[in-house]
């Protein structure tokens, strides 16, 4: 690129009208003058300068794209705060430096790599492999796009030291990401995450990334394709979850991968579980990073499921299931016209009911524990794990079966970390059985150490099929659970706050509530405040709160949780993967009339949601 063009662009940044990006000038200058960055990536930035698109320019350069404790996630484009191959190379160099410090055996064991259907995912996967190879670290790639659980399984199956999955999960199409795993197949946790972060931060320029061509990596036996045997073994591990192999199911299933990685795996796994009446939504079956039929490929959102439900209505399907682009999340939708017009009308999509993550999690735990007990396989050593923002209904179900349940921080890396702790400490009386979190995530076995939407899909299908043989739906069973343990419901409030100011406002919200906590919600006093960042518990003492001598034992995390005197809970935390702050509201109402109790629960949820909305509006 002509040096005069670059110099003119940099001179423009000194003009008064560019004052809002003056503090970004050093990063912009480095980008435009770095020989390793190609001309088209420089031209994209120069056009922003020429068009005086200062908001976009600032957002692209006001910081380095944050390499969090799970990896990278951001908008695709040119700039330090964007997902592009240069940022991927630098992050991979940091990972390679950390692996090299572990010694030659770690370098030989290498890194497993998978990518989803998003724009440039295949490019970023190959760039990562090329950097690893350039550092003498072996890379093992799936030949074609693949799922997050398949990546987690491959790390363990191949005995790799680390893993990379190129995905932005369920984010909008303009995003991509780079998730880092360690040798147990889970996303990185302390102390490994800190070690890798330090190495990434130590790579000061894009040109420091050492890379060889992908072809040279293959020729030098440093880059390898993962054999199909690994996938076959993953399928078999899922097959081993089956509780009722004798079941002859007439369940009719509509499934959508939402343009992601799931279709071939869902088809194969369901076939192996003897589900033969399976319809994959044709308009959404092919991988496509533009996600043309949905605004956002998030199976938690009803909008993303409209096409699948329309097909289900025409076919008279019993259930609709959906996975997100990297197939780690699962949505379950149940045909039940009565429930859709009655107790679950607020979740109805025509004659179908979209179960939320807590409801599906409760049903799955109930199904697994009941199935193990029925088959004579349930042992005192079996354990269930959930996260701190997931429904306490799960604990009630476990207590009924005499099974211990454990809480972790939000994210399956913490569930997996607990499992690894049990294994390394040789705790024979702690046998992992099932794990869940509210955001449609389920880890149905220890064969993977992350959410597995494909394995959970097979289990959910068997659960629905078993209930069908008993002339029940999942909604029917949920009402029975409510009759036993109270009518529970949870809501999730997502407040999207993008960019630099959005991040600052999220910080102000957390600081405001931490420094001046609410003492009541909707007139109900707060009984206890759990501050997971400070690891403290405050208990109500009259009109004031006293610091408890009891301490929270989980690793520090920026989460505040309020337990009300009526048992309701309100939790708040910044998202670790998206530019948003999340509020979790949980209420239970007991009564002999389940419908009336559930109606009261929904009313209380609505009131608490309104109070949360008022708090959000009040913090500018």
Closest-CA residue to 166 (of 152, 179, 153): 179
Angle between helices 228-239 and 148-157 (to 10 degrees): 100
Computed on alpha carbons and rounded to an integer, the radius of gyration of the chain in Å comes to: 25
Closest-CA residue to 393 (of 532, 524, 490): 490
DSSP, residue by residue, 227-250: PHHHHHHHHHHHHTT-S-TT----
Q: Is 172 exposed, middle or buried (0-12, 13-18, 19+ CB in 10 A)?
A: middle
Active-site residue among 121, 130, 152, 169?
169
For the record, the structure tokens of 167 come out as: 């995905």
Closest-CA residue to 145 (of 301, 283, 257): 257
User: Across the strands, what pairs with 559?
Assistant: none
Is 97 in contact with 195 (CB distance < 8 Å)?
A: no
**Is residue 599 among the annotated active site residues?**
no
Angle (CA) 64 577 124, round 5° = 60
Closest-CA residue to 516 (of 618, 410, 409, 389): 618
For the record, the structure tokens of 302 come out as: 């009803």
Closest-CA residue to 360 (of 492, 449, 463): 463
Report the catalytic residues.
169
């Amino acid at each position: 690129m002509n040096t005069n063009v670059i110099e003119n662009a940099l001179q423009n940044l000194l003009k008064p009208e560019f004052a809002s990006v003056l503090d970004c000038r050093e990063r912009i200058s480095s980008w435009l003058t770095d020989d390793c960055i190609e001309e088209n990536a420089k031209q994209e930035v120069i056009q922003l300068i020429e068009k005086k698109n200062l908001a976009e320019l600032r957002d692209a350069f006001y910081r380095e794209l944050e390499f969090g404790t799970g990896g990278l996630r951001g908008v695709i484009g040119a700039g330090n705060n964007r997902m592009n191959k240069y940022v991927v190379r630098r992050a991979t160099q940091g990972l390679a430096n950390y692996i090299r410090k572990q010694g030659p055996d770690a370098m030989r064991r290498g890194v497993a790599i998978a990518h989803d259907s998003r724009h440039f995912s295949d490019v970023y996967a190959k760039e990562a492999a090329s950097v690893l190879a350039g550092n003498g670290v072996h890379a093992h790639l799936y030949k074609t796009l693949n799922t997050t659980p398949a990546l987690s399984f491959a790390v363990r199956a191949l005995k790799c030291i680390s893993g990379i999955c190129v995905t932005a999960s369920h984010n909008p199409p303009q995003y991509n990401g780079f998730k880092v795993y360690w040798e147990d197949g889970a996303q990185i946790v302390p102390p490994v995450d800190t070690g890798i972060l330090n190495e990434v931060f130590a790579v000061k320029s894009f040109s420091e990334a050492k890379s060889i061509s992908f072809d040279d990596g293959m020729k030098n036996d440093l880059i390898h394709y993962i054999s199909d045997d690994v996938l076959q073994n993953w399928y078999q591990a899922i097959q081993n979850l089956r509780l009722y192999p004798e079941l002859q199911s007439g369940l009719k299933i509509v499934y959508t991968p939402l343009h992601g990685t799931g279709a071939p795996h869902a088809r194969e796994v369901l076939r192996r579980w003897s589900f033969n009446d399976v319809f994959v939504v044709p308009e959404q079956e092919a991988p496509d990073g533009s996600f043309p039929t949905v605004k956002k490929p998030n199976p938690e959102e009803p909008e993303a499921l409209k096409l699948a439900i329309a097909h289900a209505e025409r076919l008279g399907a019993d259930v609709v299931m959906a996975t997100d682009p990297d197939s780690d999340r699962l949505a379950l939708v149940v045909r039940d016209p009565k429930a859709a017009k009655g107790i679950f009308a607020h979740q109805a999509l025509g004659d179908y009911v979209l179960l939320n993550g807590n409801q599906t999690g409760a049903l799955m735990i109930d199904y697994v524990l009941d199935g193990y007990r029925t088959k004579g396989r349930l042992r005192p050593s079996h354990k269930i794990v959930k996260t701190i923002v997931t429904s306490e209904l799960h604990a009630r179900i476990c207590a009924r079966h005499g099974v211990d349940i454990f809480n972790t921080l939000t994210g399956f890396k913490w569930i997996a970390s607990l499992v690894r702790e049990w294994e390394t400490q040789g705790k024979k009386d702690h046998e992992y059985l099932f794990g869940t979190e509210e955001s449609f995530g389920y880890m149905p076995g220890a064969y993977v150490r992350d959410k597995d939407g494909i394995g959970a899909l097979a289990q959910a299908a068997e659960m629905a099929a078993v209930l069908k043989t008993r002339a029940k739906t999942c909604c029917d069973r949920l009402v029975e659970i409510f009759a036993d343990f109270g009518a529970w419901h949870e809501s999730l409030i997502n407040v999207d706050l993008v960019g630099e100011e959005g991040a600052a406002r999220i910080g102000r919200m957390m600081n405001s509530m931490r420094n001046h906590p609410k003492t009541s919600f909707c007139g109900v006093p707060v009984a206890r405040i759990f501050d997971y960042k400070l690891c403290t518990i405050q208990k109500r003492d009259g009109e004031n709160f006293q610091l408890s001598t009891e301490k929270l034992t989980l690793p520090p995390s920026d989460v505040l949780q309020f337990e009300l005197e009526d048992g309701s809970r309100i939790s708040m935390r910044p998202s670790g993967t998206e530019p948003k702050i999340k509020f979790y509201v949980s209420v239970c109402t007991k009564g002999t009339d389940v419908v009336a109790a559930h109606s009261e629960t929904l009313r209380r949820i609505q009131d608490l949601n309104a109070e949360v909305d008022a708090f959000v509006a009040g913090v500018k």
